[in-house]
Amino acid sequence: MKSKLLLVLAFLIPFMAIANEGVKLDHAPIDPNNQASLQRGAKVFVNYCLNCHSAAYMRYNRLQDIGLTDAQIKSNLMFAGEKVGDTMTVAIQKADAKAWFGATPPDLSVEARARGADWLYSYLRGFYRDDTRPTGWNNVVYDKVAMPHVLWSLQGEQVLKIDEKTETHQLVLAKQGSMTPAEYDETIADLVNYLVFMAEPFKERDKHLGLLVLAFLGLLFVLTYYLKKEFWKDIH
């Protein structure tokens, strides 16, 4: 049942992406071939995102595709009684999450396909202090967001400055976190890199397989062409 649902989501999600009218998205500097970045991103995801957001279509053992062994996965990315073959689920109940945050945290398995890497990169860097919101946080990409800024201890606290003449806004770092702005941006790039991988874990393998198939078809065409010439050479 899950596999059928995933196939449906994979078809529908590209058409469900939410437009961000009036919001300029920053380019996400990700590299799907950078295993070190993917491993760092997986660690951030498990430590900060997996507390509330599940990834029900992703199994821990898929992290082998980014260069981790079962032993590394168990010792660094699994903190309860899960097995390496288990999916990335959370203990929080949907009813409790909705009561605490006003909305149920979405599953992040294919969020990168739904939103896009640039949206995620801009969103995770776009939180600012807003005392009018229940959590004390808002976001320039997703106005009136229900999610609190779980990475604030790393980034620090930003405030929104609005130019009344030009009606433009700017985020200003009012209180720095444990990371410099450059370090935080790199951490978010790693996290988004992992989210993109998680949404399509077989993408790079499929691209490589596709190139091999094209090369085979090209070779087959050449052989077929010369075979045809050989069969028809005595026929005028």
Question: What HEC string does the chain produce?
Answer: CHHHHHHHHHHHHHHCCCCCCCCCCCCCCCCCCCHHHHHHHHHHHHHHHCCCCCEEEEEHHHHHHHCCCHHHHHHHHCCCCCCCCCEECCCCCHHHHHHHHCCCCCCCCCHHHHHCHHHHHHHHCCEEECCCCCCCEEECCCCCCCCCCCCHHHHEEEEEEEECCCCEEEEEEEEECCCCHHHHHHHHHHHHHHHHHHHCCCHHHHHHHHHHHHHHHHHHHHHHHHHHHHHHCCCC
Same domain, 181 and 222: no
User: Do 67 and 167 share a domain, yes or no?
Assistant: yes
155 and 233 part of one domain = no
Chain length of the chain = 236
Mean pLDDT of 1-8: 44
| 142 and 225, same domain (yes or no) | no
| Number of domains into which the chain is organized | 2
Are residues 161 and 218 both part of a single domain?
A: no
d(CA 30, CA 199): 14
155 and 218 both lie in a single domain: no
Q: In terms of pLDDT, which residue wins out, 22 or 133?
A: 133
- Whether 233 and 148 share a structural domain: no
Q: 191 and 219, same structural domain? A: no
In angstroms, rounded to a whole number, what is the distance separating the alpha carbons of residues 234 and 236? Answer: 6
Rounded to an integer, what is the distance from CA 132 to the centroid of its chain? Answer: 29
pLDDT tens digits, 139-152: 999 999 999 999 99
The residues that bridge with 169 in the sheet, in sequence order, are 162
pLDDT digits (tens, 9 = 90+) for 100-158: 777 788 899 999 999 999 999 999 999 999 999 999 999 999 999 999 999 999 999 99
116 and 144 housed in the same domain: yes
Least reliable range by pLDDT among 8-12, 72-76, 187-191, 232-236: 8-12
Asked whether residue 146 falls in the same domain as residue 223, the answer is: no
Domain span at residue 216 reads 210-236
**Per residue in 80-99, pLDDT tens?**
777 898 999 887 777 776 77
pLDDT in tens, 33-80: 999 999 999 999 999 999 889 999 999 999 999 999 999 999 889 877
- Which amino acid is located at 20 in the chain? N
Burial 75-97 (b: 16+ CB within 10 A, else e): eebeeeeeebeeebebeeeeeeb
Same domain, 214 and 197: no
Q: Which two tokens stand for residue 75?
A: 């010792």
pTM of the model: 0.77
Verify that 143 and 81 share a domain, yes or no.
yes
- pLDDT, position 90: 83
Q: What is the CATH number of the domain that holds 48?
A: 1.10.760.10
Tell me the C-alpha distance between 7 and 66, whole Å: 23
pLDDT at 22: 60
- Residues 30, 115, 162, 167: is their CA dihedral positive or negative? positive
Angle, nearest 10°, between helix axes 181-199 and 35-44? 100
Share of the chain above pLDDT 90, in %: 57
**Tokens 């997996």 identify what position?**
50
